[in-house]
Structure 1
């Protein structure tokens, strides 16, 4: 599966390495294109997953604020519920980022 925006590849991972949680596809950290994500100060805490970290996606043409997020330290109970450790995996806002 590939994630792209403005024709720029943001992430690329084989389907067996993608973790799907609540309809969002989370890409492993090593599948991300270096230099496309910039940490955002936007705070968010999911009641069952824990504190999220938002990212803006940067392309040569535009910055898409808060178009990606991850859980750098998910709750242990969330990992157990999902059945996979999704620490630092990144999901994208599919209204702005194309997944194929």
Structure 2
């Protein structure tokens, strides 16, 4: 699977985990040079507290378009150390 934003592949992995229709990519599959941590957090009742990244590619920034659960609840441990995308990031078969 590939995550693409602004015509650039920002993550690529054969080992994504699908939860609620979102592909979660392993941290080691993201191209870290495009990612900046943000202060945004949200809460999911069964997954826990989500943290966010913005992605900047070729001078354009997609704010808070990637999220991860640093300390997921027990029910969501399979996505610990993984990142998912939204807000215009395309996730496609590579």
Question: 4+ runs of 1 displaced by more than 2 Å?
Answer: none
Q: Which residue of 2 aligns with 1:6?
A: 6
Tell me by how many angstroms 1:64 deviates: 0.4
TM-aligned CA deviation for residue 77 of structure 1: 2.6
Alignment of 1:1-100 (within 5 A): 1-14=1-14, 17-79=15-77, 85-93=78-86, 95-100=87-92
Aligned-residue CA RMSD (Å)? 1.1
Q: Tell me how far 1:97 sits from its aligned partner.
A: 0.7
Provide the aligned length of Structure 1 versus Structure 2: 92
Question: For residues 67 and 82 of structure 2, what CA distance do their matches in structure 1 show?
Answer: 8
SS at match of 2:32: coil
Q: Report which of the two has the higher share of strand.
A: 2
Look up the SS of the partner of 2:79 in the other structure. Answer: coil
Structure 1: state its 5+ residue gaps: 80-84
TM-aligned CA deviation for residue 40 of structure 1? 1.0
Q: TM-score, normalised by structure 2?
A: 0.91
Q: Distance in 1 between matches of 2:80 and 2:58?
A: 28
Q: CA offset at residue 18 of structure 1?
A: 0.6
